[in-house]
């Protein structure tokens, strides 16, 4: 069964192919975007259930604004380095989860366990 779509804003798209391939097995649509504005437009247009946002491409204020403006979308933050302070701040800003970019299975697990997908499955 394929779940609703997902949008990804990476800081560097060169190493993202394997993550896109992994997510494509579980999500109907996986869209890479190049900017925060494009991410916002994609969530609004396609009603994506999940947005993956690299913390090197956005600020904590951006995370807070996304979760406020798109409460139906689960925002999962990634970063290439483990930084517990930043991760705690991202969760406080409204992120559903925070995963190291290298933990692709963790990112998939977080996306599949997002509250928005659980709500749509219950409907």
Q: Where are the alpha helices (DSSP H) in 6-83?
A: 17-24, 36-46, 60-69
Which pLDDT band holds residue 2 (cuts at 50, 70, 90)? very low
- Assigned domain for 108 exists: no
pLDDT band at 15 (very low <50, low <70, confident <90, very high): confident
Backbone angles phi, psi at 117, to 5 degrees: -75, -35
Q: Per-residue confidence at 123, pLDDT binned at 50, 70, 90? A: very low
Q: Cα–chain-centroid distance for residue 78?
A: 8
Provide the pLDDT for residue 51: 96
Domain span at residue 46 reads 6-102
- Per-residue pLDDT, averaged over 52-59, amounts to 93
User: Quick one: pLDDT at residue 97?
Assistant: 95
Q: Residue 47 belongs to a domain with what CATH number?
A: 3.40.50.2300
Q: Is residue 120 part of a domain?
A: no
pTM here? 0.88
- Give residue-wise pLDDT tens across range 80-122: 877 889 899 999 999 999 999 889 999 999 999 876 655 444 4
Residue 110 lies in a domain: no
Q: Is residue 114 part of a domain?
A: no
In a domain, 80, yes or no: yes
Helix, strand, coil abundance in the chain, percent, nearest 5: 45, 20, 35
Q: What is residue 112's predicted lDDT score, i.e. its pLDDT?
A: 92
What is the total count of domains within the chain? 1
Does some domain include residue 52? yes
What pLDDT does residue 3 have?
Answer: 57
What's the mean per-residue pLDDT of the chain?
A: 88
Sequence-distant contacts of 90-93: CB under 8 A, at least 24 apart: 90/55, 90/60, 90/63, 93/60, 93/61, 93/63, 93/64, 93/67
Residue 30 inside a domain? The answer is yes
Residue 75 has pLDDT above 70, yes or no: yes
């Amino acid at each position: 069964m394929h779940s609703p779509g997902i949008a990804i804003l990476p800081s560097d798209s060169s190493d993202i192919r394997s993550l896109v391939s992994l997510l494509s097995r579980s999500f109907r649509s996986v869209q890479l975007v190049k900017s925060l504005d494009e991410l916002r437009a994609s969530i609004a247009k396609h009603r994506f259930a999940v947005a993956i946002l690299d913390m090197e491409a956005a600020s904590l204020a951006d995370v807070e604004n996304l979760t406020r403006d798109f409460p139906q979308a689960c925002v999962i933050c990634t970063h290439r380095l483990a930084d517990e302070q930043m991760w705690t701040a991202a969760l406080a800003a409204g992120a559903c989860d925070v995963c190291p970019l290298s933990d692709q299975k963790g990112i998939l697990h977080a996306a599949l366990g997002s509250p928005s997908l659980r709500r749509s499955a219950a409907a």
